[in-house]
């Protein structure tokens, strides 16, 4: 779906069009979702010139607080910054009203959005590479 608008300035007419459903928009969460069983994720976390691999079961809270699943000690990261959740076998990323925002592949997210293998999530100065997911066995 696209919206078009035209504007006339003197003898110059400008026609603009904006695509509403860009590729990231197609990943937006559309309720209702069925609950899914436990899902395991594989992540690589890059922060302060270090890299570490991490695996865990969703939901997975990312933040600066000690009670999060992925602790990132960075003043630009909120105490509870973002969350990874599973629905219908897919993994979704949601910003938890963080001060500095959560970015998926360089674009700030405003709603829950699906995360796919190869995507990267930026929170503060940390980069989280999403390597994949699967059922918890």
- Confidence at 94, pLDDT banded by 50, 70, 90: very high
Domains observed in the chain: 39-135 (2.60.200.20)
The first and second tokens of residue 105, run together, are 């592949």
Question: How many CB atoms neighbour CB 58 within 10 A?
Answer: 20
Q: Residue 119: exposed, middle, or buried by beta-carbon count in 10 A (0-12, 13-18, 19+)?
A: middle
Tens digit of each residue's pLDDT (9 = 90 or more) over 120-134: 999 999 999 999 988
d(CA 126, CA 74): 8
Predicted TM-score (pTM) of this structure: 0.73
Tens digit of each residue's pLDDT (9 = 90 or more) over 26-84: 566 555 455 556 788 999 999 989 999 988 889 999 999 999 999 999 999 999 999 99
- Residue 89 or 59, more confident: 59
């Amino acid at each position: 779906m696209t919206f078009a608008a035209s504007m006339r300035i003197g003898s110059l007419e400008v026609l603009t069009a904006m695509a509403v459903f860009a590729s990231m928009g197609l990943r937006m969460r559309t309720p209702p979702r069925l609950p899914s069983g436990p899902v395991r994720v594989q992540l690589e976390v890059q922060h302060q010139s270090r890299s570490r691999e991490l695996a865990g079961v969703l939901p997975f809270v990312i933040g600066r607080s000690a009670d999060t699943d992925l602790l990132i000690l960075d003043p630009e990261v909120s105490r509870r910054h973002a969350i990874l959740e599973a629905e219908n076998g897919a993994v979704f990323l949601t910003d938890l009203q963080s001060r500095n925002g959560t970015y998926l592949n360089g674009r700030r997210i405003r709603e829950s959005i699906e995360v796919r293998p190869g995507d990267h999530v930026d929170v503060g100065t940390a980069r989280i590479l999403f390597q994949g997911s699967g059922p918890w066995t």
